[in-house]
Each structure stands twice: as C-alpha cells, then as structure tokens.
Amino acid sequence: MAIISNAYKAPQASVAKVNSRLGRGRVNMLPWRSMPVRSLVAQAVSAGSGAESAPSFPFARPGGADPPKEYAELRKKCPISRARLFDGSPIWLITKLKDVCNVLEDNRFSKVRTHPGFPELSPGAKAAIAGREPTFVDMDPPEHTKHRGMVEYAFTPERAEQQRADIQRVADELADNMFRSTKPVDLAEAFSMPLAFKVIYSMLGIPFEDYAKLSGNVAVRASGSSTARDAAAAQQELTDYMDKLVSRKEQAPGDDIISHMIRDQLRPGHINREQLIATAFLLLVAGNATVASMINLGVLELLTHPDQLSDLRAHPELLPGAAEEVLRYHTASALALRRVAKEDVKVGGQEIKGGEGIIALNMSANRDEEVFPNPDTFNIRRTPNPNVAFGYGTHVCIAQWLARVELQCGLSALLLRKGAPQLRLAVPVSELKFTDPTRDVGLQSLPVTW
C-alpha cells in the first residue's frame, strides 16, 4: 500500500488549492447556544487590539474529546481574534484553515521561542527552554533548513513506507502480548506508548530497556501542568542521558540516526556536540506521546462507530483515509503552532504588529465548515481531507509520514487482523477520563477488554 496517496498529499497542498476549496465550500455552522461562549466571543470581538478585556486562553473543551465551543463561534464571528495567556500577555488566535495555512508558510512569523513576544502557555514551558541549545523546530530559515536537513532523510515518505513491515510486526507482537495478558488492560500502557517509543528508540539506537526511565521524564517535560522546577529537572535528566548515549556511540557507532550524525555532521565540523545532543533530544521527546494518543483516540472512535468499523474491516483499503480522519477529527497536538511576528503583517484583513504573538489553531482549522462538510461528524470515507494535524509550511512536522504509518499499523494490529480477539471498551464511554480540558486532547487511560 503506497503511503503517498491523494489523501496524504492534501496536507502539503498549496494555499491556492485550499483557497479554491474555500471558495466553493458551504457553511454548516452548529448553532451553539451557550451564553458563556458567546460572552467570551463578544469579549474577543470587542477587545480589538487591546488584550486587557480579551478572554483567557487556552479555552477549555466542554467535555471528553470535543473541541472548545469558542472555536466554532470565532470562526463564524471573529476568525482572527485577541486573547490573553496565563501571564496576561496578549496573543492573536487564528481559527480558519486558509488563515492558518497562510501564517504557517509566511516567514515573517518567527518560531524562535526566545524572541520577545513569543507566546508560551505555561511557566514550565518558559523554564524548559531557558538557557538550552535550540533545535531546528525553534529556528527560522536558513538555520532551520540546515539543521532539519541533517535528519530529514530518515523521515521521508519513502523511508516511512520502507519501515511499514517492521512497524506492523512490532505492533502485531505488542497486540498479541496484550491479548495474552490478564484483562482488562490500559491500552495506552500496554500498546500505544510502547509502540511509539519502540519505533523511535530503534531509529535512534536507544536500548528499549531504558523505556521506563526515560518515559517518566518525557511525560513530566511535556505536561503543561508541571511546575517550572519539575519541567527543568526532567529536561536536564533527559539531556544528561542523551549526552551519555552520544558518548557511547562515539566509541561504538551503529546504524542509527545518532551514529550517522556523529559521522556525517559532528566529525566534519558541521555541528558541535551540544547541537547534536539537542537534536537527538528533540527526536526522543517530540511527538511520540502524540502518536500514542492518536492510536488511543482512533480506537475509541472506531469502537464507538461500529458501522464504520465494520466498513473498514470489509474494506481495509480504507485504512489510510480512516487514519487521516482520526487526525483531523481529534488533532492531538493542537497548541503547538505558535509564532511571533517579526514585522507588521496583515492576516485576513487584520494587522498584526511586529512583536505580537499568534497561535494557529489547527484543531479549529480542522473543523472549518467552509472546507469540511459536516465537520463535527466522524467519517472514515471523507475526501478530500486537507487537514493540518501535523501543521503546515516550513515547520510542518518532520515525522508526519512516520506517524501516519504508526497510526495505521496500530489500528490494523488492534482492530483489523483476521482471527484476532475482538477488542472492546472495558468501561462505558461516560466513565473514560480525558486529559485536562485546557491541554491537548487525549485519554488518561483507555481500559479495554476482548
């Protein structure tokens, strides 16, 4: 199965194509009736360029995995609006797909997190970047292009497809081990997290026996609710681990990304040791929990839509599109597309001043009524599906193709194999515990049985 299908080209489509879709889209706005939401939207509309009366951000999901209701209201009434962050600093919210794509491919917006005005969502996030070596995700071109290019070879669509058989084998083994265990189990702990980390550990040359030690620090660092001290401590422990790992690979290199960087980048002098460690650290921590979360949410969505699961089992060729719809519908990394304007920029008729921060809300963009008919309906046969779950433009997620393969292989191992036990939820949906409603959507656990 070729990974580069028409559905998968959609996230890389030009803004012109997106604009074309917008021009012929139809509006299908949900009639939100919550007075608090309307009040918040009214605040955003009336705030203008001032942040004092703007609503606080992040908004909270109303329950479960549903997006914040404010997103739909803002798309309708004020698609580019003001809000304020935890420390009172102002931010612009970009809610519609066309505008999100425009700002994410406009290099007048900077990704450098130490730039004055760059929006951070918590004290822990500010502490995590203080004094550390930046990685390519926090650089602007040309530095970004140079450093991303050093590892991009390992994350191409072709390389992801080459790994499909190995990833499917790992997924099948994890699923088989889970099905042999005492039920019920937490799918996240027994399957989703180990799959995501086994894949990246193999690519980096990290022994999987270090999983327990590393995963705790990764979780603390990624949690927006962590204290500044805990986030900084977790960051340091992970950095120290990567430092020691690089030292071992300098003495005994293998066929992995870190060893290749030592040979091709460090020894010729293209980067220094601190930059190599920072890049290895990034690849360790970035996105793996998100992949696991998407597997959990995808399983939940398919188990609660049995008609669509039956359709998928009867037509397994629908798997790429089903995975793409999971990505659009849930957008598990929904608060990462933050930028700061380097100069005055006009977006959708709104002037954003140099030094002002923005967040491109891809969760909102993925429910844009002008692009996605019936956007609040989960539909594995949705086409086209030009979602921006992995971002867009210069900083689009480097591992998007690998993540897609992992999601597809995970869903296949759990739900599509003939003769495998029939997975089902071990508790009612109403008893499932989701993540903090102001943070990225996810499940704290997913109890399953068979």
Active site residues: 290, 333, 397, 440
- How many CB atoms are closer than 10 A to CB 216? 12
Helix axes 306-314, 319-330, angle to 10 degrees: 150
Can you give the length of the chain in residues? 450
Q: Give the neighbor-by-neighbor strand order of the sheet with 357-360.
A: 80-84, 90-94, 357-360, 338-341, 109-110
For 382-413, b/e burial (b = at least 16 CB within 10 A) is beebbbbbbbbbbbebbbbbbbbbbbbbbbbb
Q: What is the DSSP string of 127-183?
A: HHHTTPPP-GGG--TTHHHHHHHTTGGGGSHHHHHHTHHHHHHHHHHHHHHHHTSPS
d(CA 328, CA 311) in angstroms, rounded, equals 19
DSSP 350: E
Q: How far apart are CA 195 and CA 139, in angstroms?
A: 29
Max intra-chain CA distance, the chain: 64
CB-facing half-sphere around the CA of 447: CA atoms within 13 A: 11
The answer to whether the Cα torsion of 408, 423, 443, 197 is positive or negative is: negative
Give the DSSP per-residue string, 195-254: HHHHHHHHHHT--GGGHHHHHHHHHHHH-TTS-HHHHHHHHHHHHHHHHHHHHHHHHS--
Are 72 and 32 in contact by the 8 Å Cβ rule? The answer is: yes
* d(C-alpha 415, C-alpha 232), whole Å: 39
CB neighbour list of residue 307: distance below 8 Å, 6 or more residues apart: none
Structure tokens at 11: 């996230």
Tokens 């900084």 correspond to 232
**Residue ranges with strand state E in 288-412:** 338-341, 345-347, 350-352, 357-360
